[in-house]
Amino acid sequence: MTVSVPRDRSAGAAEPPPPQGDRRTPDHHALVSRWAPPLVALLVGLALWQLVIVLELGQLPLPSPWDVAYAAYDFGTSGEFWSAALESGRVLVQGFVPGVVLAVAVGMVVGQFDLLDRGVGPLLFAVYTTPFIALIPLLLILFGFGVTGKTMIVFFLVWITVVLQTVAGVRNVDDKHVEVARAFRSPRFREILEVTFPAALPFIVAGIRLGIGRALVGVVVAEFETAVTGLGGVILLKAQQLELAEAFIPALFLGGVGVVLTSGLRRWEGRLQAWKQ
Amino acid sequence: MRARRWLPPVVAVVVILATWELFVRVSDVDPTLFVPVSRIALAVPEVLTDELYVESLLATLRLLAAGFAISALLGVSFGLLLGRVRILDRALSPWANGLYAAPLPALIPIITAAVGYRLTAKLLVVVIIGVFPILINTFQGVVETDPQLIEVARAFRSRELQIWRNVVLPFALPYILVGLRLGVVRCLIGTVVAEFYTSPGGLGYMIIIFSRRFDMASMLVPVLTLTTLGMALVGIVGLLERRLAPWQQRAQDRP
């Protein structure tokens, strides 16, 4: 829910009308009319950018789209790039999995007990509201400037986001469902497993989505700080050598990863919400 | 009633701080890294009275205010535009959503290399990070405006601009405020990253200085200042939400 964003009531309203007659042509049309405008906008933007560079209108030492495309082909296929991507990816996975597991476990417990929630909840919220970038130097000093430090950053960013959402999800469980479970004398663990957890799941997934966005930023910034490793390190190094076309490649790659993960999780959230109604 | 609300978090803080102090004293972790609470308490007045602190706080607030103002202006304008002009929506909304999901601080080294370390670079960093939640939430509010209201306005021969001002903007207001609340947090994050990696100055720079000296206790002061600042800003926008759009029910005060 990103709790605070008003619920999207128009979902489905913008869907194209159901295809009639020959199934293939309308589907094909829908696809074209959906993707053509953004692609045209992209091409226009790139053409303008190329023009500015070619005509030397700006004073900025930016690479042209053509340079970036060439760098994508040349540098994007190099071992240097992929070993950096592998390093960043490893850090992300290593921190992400325990972060989610521990956050769900803690969140389920905190959410069950009102007093605990009222005591710890505001603290968790305060930590969450801290601009998380400010905590990165602190975590790096505590846990080292290597893989461990970066993993801890991912772990921490994912954990704090998911734990808050899990607590919100548990508190959001329909009391009637809990009452029914209790009326049928269902044991506590079954109640948690079969009533509380499914009800909290959409919140948890939203937390994972938000957490992963923050974790990506966290890894990149941590790698600026440690300077020599991972995709963030590559961006910094290439930018300092003024090889900006090549510096764009890891940035674009990270953007793609962010978009794919976020939209995938959003879709999952949508499916979880669908049966709720 | 008040005590019931404030007591649990206060007790929780005391318990956590006491446990931390005890843990650091009993176990053999390095006390220069895992600083005991008592040391932090000593560092707080020292840093707070430092001239650099006040200067940095003001610099951060200035950058934040300027960046947020620009983000709000751009975000609301483009949100309105994309929400009302269909072809712009179709062409640009996917990119706006994509940029919202992308880790934009990855661009910072490129920005500093291209724009330099001037104020422009700092503002650019804050705005690209802060503008998208405002834009997207404004857009959402505009798109969801009750079409019947717009029809009535049309029937009374309102011009498009009048519809924007008198129908769409008021309808989208709660959404815009949510966008501003999310946006101000992102602007604060942008401000800190900008201060880390562009020209020196501000609380972010202070954090970097202390971290290079491994001075954990002093470092916590700007960090906690930023926490306070973040909570205060979220609180202020939340207050505005209840004031300006009380009809919008807020599900929870959680993120």
pLDDT in tens, A72-122: 888 878 888 898 899 899 999 999 999 999 999 999 999 888 888 888 888
- Asked whether residue A130 falls in the same domain as residue A164, the answer is yes
Residue A185 has what pLDDT?
Answer: 83
pLDDT computed for residue B248 by the predictor: 64
* Cα separation, A74 vs A247, whole angstroms: 12
- Output A249 or A192, whichever has higher pLDDT: A249
Contact list, B109 vs chain A (CB under 8 Å): 224, 235-236, 238-240, 247
Q: CB of A268 within 8 A of CB of A205?
A: yes
Residue of A nearest to B250 (CA): A4
In a domain, A72, yes or no: no
CB A211 within 8 A of CB A219: no
> Using CA atoms in the order B210, B215, B218, B222, what is the torsion angle rounded to 10 degrees?
40
CB of B86 within 8 A of CB of B143?
A: no
Structural domains of chain B, ranges and CATH numbers in brackets = 49-244 (1.10.3720.10)
| B209-224 average pLDDT score | 89
**3-class secondary-structure state, position A268:** helix
Among A4-13, A28-37, A93-102, name the one with the lowest average pLDDT.
A4-13
- Mean pLDDT estimate for chain A: 83
Distance CA A101, CA A158 (A): 10
Rounded Cα gap, residues B84 and B78, in angstroms: 10
Neighboring chain B residues of A128 at a CB cutoff of 8 Å: 255
Q: What percent of chain B has pLDDT over 90?
A: 37
Domains contained in chain A, number: 2
Residue A187 belongs to domain with CATH number: 1.10.3720.10
> Measuring CA to CA, which residue among A223, A216, A214 is closest to residue A84?
A223
Distance of CA B251 to the CA centre of its chain: 20
The whole-angstrom separation of Cα A191 and Cα B101 is 35
User: Of chain A residues 62-81, which have a CB less than 8 A from chain B?
Assistant: 62
> Do A121 and A245 lie in a common domain?
yes
Distance between CA B246 and CA B232 in Å, rounded? 20
Task: Reply yes or no on whether the pLDDT at A8 is more than 90.
Answer: no
Is position A239 within any domain?
A: yes
CB contact under 8 A, A8 and B137: no
How close B232 gets to chain A, by Cα (Å)? Answer: 10
Flag if A220 and B192 touch (Cβ within 8 Å).
Answer: no
Q: What is the pLDDT of residues A188-237, one digit of tens each?
A: 888 888 888 888 898 999 999 999 999 999 999 988 888 678 898 889 88
Contact call for A259 and B98, based on CB within 8 A = yes
A120, A134, A238: residue with CB nearest B204: A134
- For residue A192, give every residue at least 6 positions away whose Cβ sits within 8 Å of its Cβ, in sequence order, or none: A108, A112
pLDDT average, residue stretch B204-208? 91
Helix (H) or strand (E) holding B104: none
Average pLDDT over residues A162-172: 91
Tell me the one-letter amino acid at B74.
L
The minimum CA-CA distance between A276 and chain B, rounded to whole Å, is 17
On whether residue A6 sits in a domain, the answer given is no
- The Cα A206–Cα B220 span in angstroms is 30
> Which residue has better confidence, B31 or B240?
B240
Q: Letter for the amino acid at A188?
A: R
Res. A158: pLDDT tops 90: yes
* Assigned domain for A66 exists: no
Find the mean pLDDT for residues A121-134: 88
pLDDT over threshold 70, residue A275: no
Residue A67 lies in a domain: no
Whether A11 is in a domain gets the answer no
CA A120 centroid distance within chain: 25
**Looking at the predicted structure, is the pLDDT value of residue B150 above 90?**
no
Q: Does residue A10 carry a pLDDT above 60? A: no
**For the CA atoms of chain A, what is the radius of gyration?**
23
pLDDT at A95: 92
How far apart are alpha carbons B150 and A145 in whole angstroms? Answer: 57
Looking at residue A134, the DSSP 8-state letter turns out to be G
What would the mean pLDDT of B217-236 be, rounded to a whole number? 92
- Name the residue type at position B8: P
Looking at per-residue confidence, does A51 or A98 come out higher? A98
- A37 in the same domain as A117: no
A142, A224: one domain: yes
Quick one: closest CA in A to B30, which residue? Answer: A142
Beta carbons of A3 and B107 less than 8 Å apart: no
* Owning domain of residue A172: 79-274
| Chain B CA closest to residue A132 | B189
Alpha helices, DSSP H only, in chain A?
24-54, 65-74, 79-112, 114-129, 136-143, 147-171, 175-183, 188-191, 197-226, 230-240, 244-274
Question: In terms of domains, do A127 and A36 share one?
Answer: no
Residue A276 confidence (pLDDT): 57
Share of chain B above pLDDT 70, in %: 95
Token pair belonging to A45: 């933007």
pLDDT score of A15 more than 60: no
Q: Is the pTM of this model over 0.95?
A: no
State whether A38 and A126 are in the same domain. Answer: no
Widest Cα–Cα separation across chain A = 77
Establish if A4 belongs to a structural domain: no
Nearest neighbour of B109 by CB, restricted to A10, A134, A236 = A236
Q: B5 burial class (0-12, 13-18, 19+ CB within 10 angstroms)?
A: exposed
- Decide if pLDDT at A24 tops 70: no
Do residues A30 and A93 share a domain?
no
Indicate yes or no: CB of B219 within 8 angstroms of CB of A138.
yes
Question: Are residues A237 and A197 both part of a single domain?
Answer: yes
Torsion sign across C-alpha atoms B123, B125, B131, B133: negative
Query: Is the Cβ pair A61, B181 closer than 8 Å?
Result: no
User: What's the rounded mean pLDDT across residues B198-205?
Assistant: 86
A8 domain residue, yes or no: no
The Cα A226–Cα A149 span in angstroms is 10
| Separation of alpha carbons B70 and B77, rounded Å | 11
Tell me, yes or no, if A9 comes closer than 8 A to chain B by beta carbon. yes
The least confident of B50-59, B151-160, B178-187 is B151-160
Residues A164 and A32 in one domain: no
The answer on A159 and A38 residing in a single domain is no
From B254's Cα to the closest Cα of chain A, the distance in A is 7
Tokens 């993993």 map to which residue?
A151
Greatest pairwise CA separation for chain B in angstroms: 77
Indicate if A40 and A125 belong to the same structural domain: no
- Tell me the C-alpha distance between B106 and B117, whole Å: 16
Distances (CA, A) of A233 to A84, A88, A223, B115: 8, 10, 5, 20
Q: Write the CB contacts of B59 (distance below 8 Å, at least 6 apart in sequence).
A: B195, B201, B202, B203
Contact B227 A248 (CB under 8 A): no
As a whole number, mean pLDDT of residues A7-22 equals: 40
CB contact under 8 A, A5 and B137: yes
Q: Which of residues 54-83 of B touch A (CB under 8 A)?
A: none
Rg value, chain B, Cα:
22
User: Could you tell me if A48 and A149 lie in one domain?
Assistant: no
End-to-end CA distance of chain B: 25
Q: Each residue of B66-99: pLDDT tens digit?
A: 999 999 999 999 999 999 888 888 888 889 988 9
The letter for the amino acid at A261 is L
Flag if A134 and B207 touch (Cβ within 8 Å): yes
**ipTM of the shown complex:** 0.85
Distance CA A7, CA A197 (A): 21
